[in-house]
Each structure stands twice: as structure tokens, then as C-alpha cells.
């Protein structure tokens, strides 16, 4: 079996048209221009709307407006900020269906998953409404007893937030909510492929009481000129970026010149390790979720699946069956599990990765198929006995290809798992508590899913090590990213 493009449009699940119309009503409610950057539905190729295509001058104007608003916001009380964030959370939750339909329309993921993203994304707003009143701090004594140290937190200042297309709501709220909780304003630049959800979420923030100017949404087709201009402006004190490692490296260079605070959530290449003693059903379900969530377009998607020799045949059999049964189609279709990829380039990349792996000895057990459609679909694919030299064993796949390698011993698989410059997520499936911790401790990653494939939530300090990033999002650590730590040294004199 080799990769092919033979599957027809009729093999795809079709949309419920009334659901697509629900999304279009939300788009119509946004004040968008007649010309600008066009946004398309990746499942159909349909044009949805234009968003503004701003130049560097307009970006600097957005910086000016947000900076002024940010200075007032920094003087609000923690409780005021918490109340506004709480109102925003309630409004987002009330608009779950509108947000979910919009996410599916512009990004493609199945509606049930889009609802899951709304839950995940709104949880950050709720979490930071709660964290806002716990800004942290401390009280210390100087070692010589001559003074006391009061440790305080202050907002870092205006933050530039740059988000990718794969989680249009959650990547935005995971940055905006802690920035606001800490007392910062923000200029947010969503990906031009999926900007509509950000526009809508920020509109709801304003309705919830966030000052009109405090969050500026900017969209541009010239992202390089944008970052060159805004990151060099001395009103900007922080940049938080989620996206590819290559772009992150460029932004770090510019941020280095101005010594900006930086948070970088970059690319991944997650190992998922299944030991012989794993619960087979749990491992298969976990691998399926870690691979197919968002059609594999997730930075923590299982990229290299390592299966121990004793369980490998049974695991491959069960995962192949599950992947080949997963319906592919429009995210508004009933029962769709795998939506479209974001664009045609991604489909071409899946075909190339599959062909390369097969040419290097992999067995194609299911999938490998693109569809004859205006949308960008690729079938869930399983490649077994993948060679370590195959591209699929080294690159970030970002699509629905499960690439299986087999291994013998624990130390061998840990060494192979760590042979990458990336270090975002890892997964371990075993029934041995000792092995789970021993392997998790030795994986060079920022997070590890143990016997589960969906490890992120608002309470988890999400982020990578090595070239997967700097800083953490979510949890109390996510608030630290928007705060400067200061201390007051209070002299003590003995008055006895």
C-alpha cells in the first residue's frame, strides 16, 4: 500500500448547513471591512470575511492606545480586575455555541472538539479571575537582622501577544487573561488564517467591562514588519508568542535588543511510549486522543509513538482499527472525528511524509490518502516499523499520521525519545508506578501525560524545555509571566 489521492469527495462526512449558517451570523455581527485579508473555511474553501490588513504605522498606533489604557488598568485593584474577568468568563460561557461554531467555521475542527476548546479556553479566564486577587509576594528577614524585605509584584507593562491558528480561542485566552489579571494591557495578533474567533472573544470582553482600548486586536499580512516595529517600541515590555520555533527564534532576537520579558510556546516532537505492561485499551485510547485531537494539529500531539516489542502487534492492530473507523469530513457533519487540515500545503506535507516513510521501509497499515475535495482533508494514517531516518520520525508532523517505532528496553527508549532538540510533551503508558515516574523524570520535556493523552488544563503550568520554549502558561506560574518582582528593603533599628 502506498500513499495516494484516490479517495473521492463522497467518502467525506458532509456539513449540516444550518450549523454553518449559525457561524455566519456571528461573523456578520463583527464590524469587519469590505477589503483586507480574506479568511476561508478550510473544509470547503468558502470565503468567510475580510479582516483588516494593517501596516506598521497602524500597529504602533494600536500600541499607543493600548499603552495609555494599560497605565490606568495597572492602577485598578485586584478585585476590580477579578470581577471584570469573571464577567468575561460568564459571557464567553453564555456564548459557547457561537464561539464553537465560529472556531469550526474558520479552523475546521469538529464541532464537538470546538466545544471542548471553548471549555478549555474559557477555563483560563475563570482561573485568572480567581488568581487576580492572589498576586503573590513575600516577607523576608535580612540575614544580619538589620532590615526586612517586602517582596511585591507589579504588572510587567504592555504585552504583545502573538497566537497561532490551531486553537483560535484557547491560545488567545491563555495569554490575555493572565495579562489582564496582572494589570497589563495587550496588543494581540492572531494568525491571519483564523482571526475571527479572537475578534469575537475580545468584543465579548468589552461587553463584559474590559476597557474599550485595553486589548487591541491587529491583523496583518506583513507579520515580520509588525514585529520589527512593535517589539522595538519602548512602550512594549513583554512579548508572548505561540507558534513555530523558527519564528520564535526571530522574535527572541528582536526582543533581546530591547531586553523584553518573553514567553515562547514553540514547536513540539512528543514521544509517546507504550510499555509491555500497559493497559492495552487505555494505551490505544490515549494514543488515539494524543494523535487525533485537532486532527494532529497540536503542539503536544503524539509525534513519535514508541511501542515495546511484547505489546506492539496488539497495539498496532487496535490503533489501526480505531483510526480507520474515524469518520473524516466537515466539522459541522454528524459524527465527524477528523476535520480538514488548515491548508493544502499541510495535505501535501502529509502525502510527502507518508511516501518518504514507505520508501524507507515503513508499512502503511491504514490511510495515506488525500481527498479529491475543495477542502483540505487527509485520512487518519498509521505507519508501522518507521525507520529512524524517515522524515516522519524527526519532523513535527502536525497532521493525522501515527508513526510507530518499536523498542526493546526502558533505557533504550528514553535515549531515543530524548534525541531531539524539542521538549514540550511526552507520554508514558505503563501499569507500573515506579516505571511511570522513572521514565517521566528522565524525559526532557516540560510536561508528561501518564496513562492519558490529553494532559493540559487551566491548573497545569504548560510549556516546554529545550527549543520548545521559555516560560509557562496556565496555573499560578502563568501569572508570573506578566509580573515584575520587586522588593522594598525596610531598615530596622533597635529601639530598646
Candidate list 106, 117, 265, 444; residue touching ligand NAD; CB under 6 A: 265
Strands 425-429, 270-274: pairing is parallel
User: Whose Cβ is closer to ligand NAD: residue 198's or residue 308's?
Assistant: 198
Between 52 and 135, name the residue whose CB sits nearer to ligand NAD.
52
Least distance to ligand NAD from the beta carbon of 125, Å? 17
Q: Which of 299, 316, 417, 440 binds ligand NAD (CB under 6 A)?
A: 299
Cell of 39: 479568511
Report d(CA 225, CA 417) in Å as an integer: 37
Which residues pair with residue 483 across a beta bridge? 155
Q: Which is nearer to ligand NAD, 30 or 56 (CB)?
A: 56
Placement of cell 522574535 in the chain: 251
Contact indicator for 220, 60 with CB cutoff of 8 Å: no
Given the rule CB under 6 A, which of 105-113, 264-272, 331-339, 477-485 is the region that contacts ligand NAD? Answer: 264-272
Tell whether residue 247 is a contact of ligand NAD (CB under 6 A). Answer: yes
Part in contact with ligand NAD (CB under 6 A); list of ranges 46-54, 207-215, 219-227, 282-290: 219-227
Q: 345, exposed or middle or buried, with CB in 10 Å at 0-12, 13-18, 19+?
A: exposed
Query: What angle separates helix 196-207 from helix 17-29, to the nearest 10 degrees?
Result: 60
CB of 456 to ligand NAD, least distance (A): 9
Task: Spell out, one character per residue from 161 to 200, where the chain touches ligand NAD: x when CB under 6 A holds, - when not.
Answer: -xxxxx----------------------x-xx--------
Considering beta carbons, is residue 92 or 231 the nearer one to ligand NAD?
A: 231
Q: Which stretch binds ligand NAD (CB under 6 A): 156-164, 279-287, 330-338, 411-419?
A: 156-164
Q: Name which of 405, 381, 397 is nearest 324 in CA terms.
A: 381
State which residue, 248 or 286, has the beta carbon closest to ligand NAD: 248
Q: How far is CA 25 from CA 28, 111, 190, in A?
A: 5, 16, 21
| Closest residue by Cα to residue 178 from 134, 125, 217 | 125
| Residue 226 found at the interface with ligand NAD (CB under 6 A) | yes
Find the shortest distance in angstroms from Cβ 411 to ligand NAD: 28
In angstroms, the Cα distances linking 393 to 400, 416, 419 are 14, 11, 11
Size of the site for ligand NAD (CB under 6 A): 26
Q: Is 268 in the site for ligand NAD (CB under 6 A)?
A: yes
Q: Which is nearer to ligand NAD, 138 or 256 (CB)?
A: 256
Active site residue 184: no
Active site residue: 113, 117, 184, 299, which one?
299
Report, in Å, the least distance between residue 422 CB and ligand NAD. Answer: 9
Distance CA 6, CA 369 (A): 7
Residue selected from 183, 339, 426, 469 as contacting ligand NAD according to rule CB under 6 A: 469
Q: Return the number of the residue (89 or 226) whose C-beta is nearest ligand NAD.
A: 226
- For 191, residues 6+ apart whose C-beta sits below 8 A from its C-beta are 163, 164, 165, 168, 243
Alpha-carbon gap, residue 433 to 22, rounded angstroms: 47
Q: How far apart are CA 468 and CA 466, in angstroms?
A: 6
**Which of 426, 391, 444 is closest to 305 using CA atoms?**
426
Reduce the DSSP state of residue 76 to 3 states and report it. coil
Q: Does residue number 387 form part of the binding site for ligand NAD (CB under 6 A)?
A: no
Residues that bind ligand NAD (CB under 6 A): 162-166, 189, 191-192, 223-224, 226-227, 242-244, 247, 250, 265-268, 299, 396, 424, 464, 469
- Annotated catalytic residues are 265, 299
Amino acid at each position: 500500500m502506498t500513499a495516494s489521492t484516490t479517495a473521492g469527495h463522497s467518502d467525506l462526512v458532509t456539513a449540516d448547513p444550518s450549523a454553518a449558517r449559525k457561524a455566519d451570523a456571528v461573523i456578520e455581527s463583527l464590524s469587519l471591512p469590505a477589503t483586507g485579508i480574506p479568511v476561508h473555511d478550510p473544509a470547503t474553501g468558502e470565503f468567510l470575511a475580510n479582516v483588516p490588513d494593517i501596516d506598521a504605522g497602524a500597529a504602533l498606533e494600536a500600541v499607543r492606545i493600548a499603552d495609555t489604557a494599560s497605565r490606568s488598568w495597572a492602577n485598578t485593584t485586584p478585585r476590580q480586575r477579578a470581577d471584570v474577568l469573571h464577567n468575561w468568563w460568564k459571557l464567553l460561557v453564555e456564548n459557547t455555541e457561537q464561539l464553537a461554531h465560529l472556531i469550526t467555521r474558520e479552523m475546521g475542527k469538529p464541532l464537538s472538539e470546538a466545544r471542548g476548546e471553548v471549555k478549555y479556553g474559557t477555563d483560563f479566564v475563570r482561573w485568572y479571575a480567581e488568581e487576580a486577587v492572589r498576586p503573590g509576594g513575600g516577607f523576608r528577614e535580612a540575614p544580619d537582622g538589620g532590615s526586612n524585605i517586602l517582596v511585591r509584584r507589579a504588572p510587567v507593562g504592555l504585552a504583545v501577544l502573538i497566537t497561532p491558528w490551531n486553537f483560535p480561542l484557547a491560545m488567545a485566552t491563555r495569554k490575555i487573561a493572565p495579562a489582564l489579571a496582572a494589570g497589563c494591557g495587550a496588543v494581540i495578533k492572531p494568525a491571519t488564517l483564523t482571526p475571527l474567533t479572537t475578534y469575537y472573544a475580545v468584543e465579548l470582553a468589552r461587553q463584559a467591562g474590559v476597557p474599550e482600548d485595553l486589548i487591541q486586536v491587529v491583523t496583518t499580512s506583513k507579520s515580520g514588519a509588525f514585529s520589527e516595529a512593535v517589539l522595538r517600541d519602548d512602550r512594549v515590555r513583554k512579548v508572548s508568542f505561540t507558534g513555530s520555533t523558527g519564528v520564535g527564534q526571530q522574535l527572541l532576537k528582536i526582543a533581546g535588543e530591547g531586553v523584553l520579558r518573553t514567553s515562547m510556546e514553540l514547536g513540539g516532537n512528543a514521544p509517546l511510549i507504550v510499555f509491555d505492561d500497559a493497559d492495552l485499551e487505555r494505551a490505544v485510547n490515549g494514543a488515539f486522543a494524543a494523535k487525533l485531537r485537532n486532527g494532529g494539529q497540536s503542539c503536544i500531539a503524539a509525534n513519535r509513538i514508541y511501542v515495546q516489542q511484547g505489546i506492539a502487534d496488539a497495539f498496532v492492530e487496535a490503533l489501526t482499527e480505531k483510526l480507520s473507523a474515524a469518520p473524516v469530513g466537515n466539522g459541522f457533519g454528524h459524527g465527524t472525528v477528523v476535520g480538514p487540515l488548515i491548508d493544502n500545503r499541510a495535505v501535501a506535507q502529509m502525502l510527502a511524509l507518508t511516501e518518504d516513510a514507505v520508501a524507507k521501509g515503513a508499512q502503511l497499515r491504514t490511510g495515506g490518502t488525500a481527498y479529491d475535495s475543495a477542502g483540505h482533508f487527509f485520512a487518519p494514517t498509521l505507519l508501522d516499523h518507521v525507520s529512524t531516518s524517515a522524515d516522519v520520525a524527526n519532523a513535527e508532523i502536525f497532521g493525522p499520521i501515527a508513526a510507530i517505532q518499536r523498542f526493546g528496553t526502558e533505557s533504550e527508549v528514553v535515549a531515543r525519545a530524548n534525541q531531539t532538540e524539542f521538549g514540550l510533551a511526552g507520554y508514558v503508558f505503563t501499569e507500573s508506578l515506579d516505571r511511570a515516574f522513572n521514565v517521566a523524570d528522565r524525559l526532557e520535556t516540560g510536561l508528561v501525560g501518564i496513562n492519558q493523552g490529553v494532559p493540559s488544563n487551566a491548573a497545569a503550568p504548560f510549556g516546554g524545555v529545550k527549543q520548545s520554549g521559555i516560560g509557562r502558561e496556565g496555573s499560578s506560574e502563568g501569572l508570573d509571566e506578566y509580573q515584575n518582582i520587586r522588593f522594598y528593603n525596610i531598615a530596622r533599628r533597635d529601639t530598646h
